[in-house]
Structure 1
Amino acid sequence: MSLIKEPKGIDFIIQSPPLTEKERIEISEFIASRKAKKNVVKKIPKTKVIMKK
């Protein structure tokens, strides 16, 4: 991935419209669910492999 360089004398300004309260709640719930799933994966115990000689 490469960076976008601004041409001389031109500034790129990106301004997003403000989020509504509903959008903020949806984003917060999504982030919380992703974190919960991530923590579940970490709790799976590792198994040991025993090799006989």
Structure 2
Amino acid sequence: MNLIKEPKGVDFIIQSPPLTEQDRKEISEFIASRKSKKNIVKRIPKEKILVKK
């Protein structure tokens, strides 16, 4: 695996602006909603699964 080297005179330092309180709240709500949806999974009973031989 090769490493990416910085060209001379160029810095790859990325600094994001700080999040506002509203942004933090929206992100937290989004993550919570995704986690709650993730736990709801449709399960198919084994009797309905047909296996081809």
Whether TM-score is above 0.5 comes out as yes
The alignment-based identity, stated in percent, is: 72
The C-alpha deviation readout for 1:17-39, integer Å capped at 9, x for no partner, is 10000000000000000000000
How many equivalent pairs are there?
47
**Partner of 2:15 in structure 1?**
15
Distance 1:50 1:11 in 2: 57
TM-score, with length taken from structure 2? 0.66
Change (3 A) 1:21 1:6: same
Unmatched 5+ stretches in structure 1: none
Letter in 1 for 2:35: K
Letter in 2 for 1:46: I
Distance 2:6 2:25 in 1: 35
Deviation at 1:45, TM superposition (A): 3.0
Whether 1:34 aligns to 2:37 is: no
Distance 2:30 2:5 in 1: 33
**Partner of 2:45 in structure 1?**
47
